[in-house]
Every structure is written in structure tokens, then in C-alpha cells.
Amino acid sequence: MSRHSVRCGDLADEGDPEEEWLVAGFASAAAALDYARRFVRAQIEDLRREAASPEELAAMYRRWGEYAETPGFDREAWVAHCIANPATRRQDTDYAALEPGP
């Protein structure tokens, strides 16, 4: 059994166990990290359509977005990168394609 996982949740209720879930079974730490990156980027891209500025996008993400956590993932730095650099390929946000199988 793999020990690599990603904890996800709702920023509006961060820390509430009712609003968190674990995606487990990644073959490697790198695979879990890639999932976390795509998951957060997907959240930002979904909100980007509604934001008038990068600052508004950051505030919207922190208020309504969902987060991902895994060892080695600097979420704040990644959020800043994603806001400054919009996704250009579908695979940039396709975290579901990386979900471990049963």
C-alpha cells in the first residue's frame, strides 16, 4: 500500500474535518505533488473567469477555493504562480486524470 496522499478541503472551512477529504494511493511523492498542483490550479482557473484583477482572484481563491496539501507542496507559492501564469493546456488542470485507481 502506498503512503503518498493529498489532503484536500474547502478554504472557507479550513480545518473542519467535515470539509476535508484524503486522496490516497499515489505511487510516489512526485505523483501526489502533481495531483496537488493540478487540483489547486483547477480551482484558480475556475475562479479566474469571475475575477477582475489578480488581486481579486487571490482573494476569491482564499475565500471560496479548495486547497490541497502534501509534503513538499508550497501552496502559497503555487497559488501566486498560477495567478500570474494562467493555464494553457487542459492537462494543467486535469487532476482527476491522476487519481489513483482502486
Rounded to whole angstroms, how far apart are CA atoms 85 and 18?
32
Q: How confident is the model at residue 1 (pLDDT cuts 50, 70, 90)?
A: very low
Three-class DSSP category at 2: coil
| Cα–Cα separations (whole angstroms), residue 35 to 4, 9, 25, 89 | 11, 14, 12, 15
Predicted pLDDT of residue 17: 79
Backbone angles phi, psi at 70, to 5 degrees: -155, 150
pLDDT digits (tens, 9 = 90+) for 35-88: 999 999 999 999 999 999 999 999 999 999 999 999 999 999 999 999 999 999
Record the pTM: 0.92
Three-class DSSP category at 9: strand
